[in-house]
Amino acid sequence: MSANPRIVSSMPSTTNTTMTEPAAAPAPRIYLQPIAPPSILGLYGFAGATFMVSAILAHWFGNQNTQLVVAPFALVFGGLAQFLAGMWAFKARDGLATAMHGMWGSFWIAYGILMILFANHTLQMSPNGLSQGFGFWFIVLAVITWTGAYAATAENWGLTSVLVFLAAGSTLFAIANFVGSSGIEAAAGWAFFISSVCAWYTASALMFRGSFGRDILPLGMTQHAKEKPELAAGYGEPGVFHGQ
């Protein structure tokens, strides 16, 4: 016995059907997380550590053992504090502060560790404290700092002055390490000293602005920095001005 199979349609019924509109997306929420300018801490930490070491390099006081006393403070104040400021600069979306504080904070941490290695005689310090190894490192530091100084010209002249004298000091100190010149080393110390004073001034100007709500010490803001929108992606934490 044979039979043809029956084909049953599975098409849905189209009678009395209604289409519902998708639910509207909820309005976006903006959470403001204002933070203080990271460079207040970063520049103060840099200024303190750089001033102490620049005084030694400029032959104002001390000897090789003095660096061993300065090193722990440079490691924490100029190193750890400044490095943390560089990481907080990520939060403020400030690429320049991130690069400069992150790099120089790392340097001061390494400087402190190196002095500790000299202190426990794991490494031997050269008689005049200069070495080609230091020289090569300061070539790297000088190149990156000169680059940061150029970027700072779009921000303000306070920060620009910090980085220009810092880059100049790094360049001179690199040369001093290669030629073994105490005179060039002293010139580098003076450049570092001027950079530390500029860093103190710039950090103070940022702190006073936050405390008084107006400029007490002028920073020399560029026209480019003044025209930056306050609420714009990439220019600062939402709700606050660009970090530096």
Candidates 155, 161, 166; CA nearest to 243 is 155
Name the percent of the chain lying above pLDDT 90: 54
Q: What angle do CA 191, 196, 198 make, to 5 degrees?
A: 95
**25-59 CB burial, b ≥16 within 10 A, e <16:** eeeeeeeeeeeebbbbbbbbbbbbbbbbbbbbbbe
Residues 6+ apart with CB under 8 A from 159: 39, 96, 152, 202, 219, 244
Name the percent of the chain lying above pLDDT 70: 77
Are residues 118 and 70 in contact, defined by beta-carbon separation less than 8 angstroms?
no
DSSP run (H or E) holding 39: helix 39-57
| pLDDT tens digits, 157-202 | 999 999 999 999 999 999 999 998 889 999 999 999 999 999 999 9
Q: What is the mean pLDDT of residues 116-140?
A: 82
Q: How confident is the model at residue 34 (pLDDT cuts 50, 70, 90)?
A: low
**What's the confidence (pLDDT) of residue 19?**
56
Token pair in block for residue 134: 């230091």
Distance between the two ends of the chain, CA-based, in angstroms?
A: 93
Question: Facing residues of 221 across strands?
Answer: 156
What is the pTM (predicted TM-score) of this model?
0.80
Residue 67 pLDDT exceeds 80: no
**What's the confidence (pLDDT) of residue 232?**
45
Candidates 21, 79, 70, 24; CA nearest to 46 is 79
Residue 24 pLDDT exceeds 90: no
Q: What angle do CA 237, 85, 93 make, to 5 degrees?
A: 25
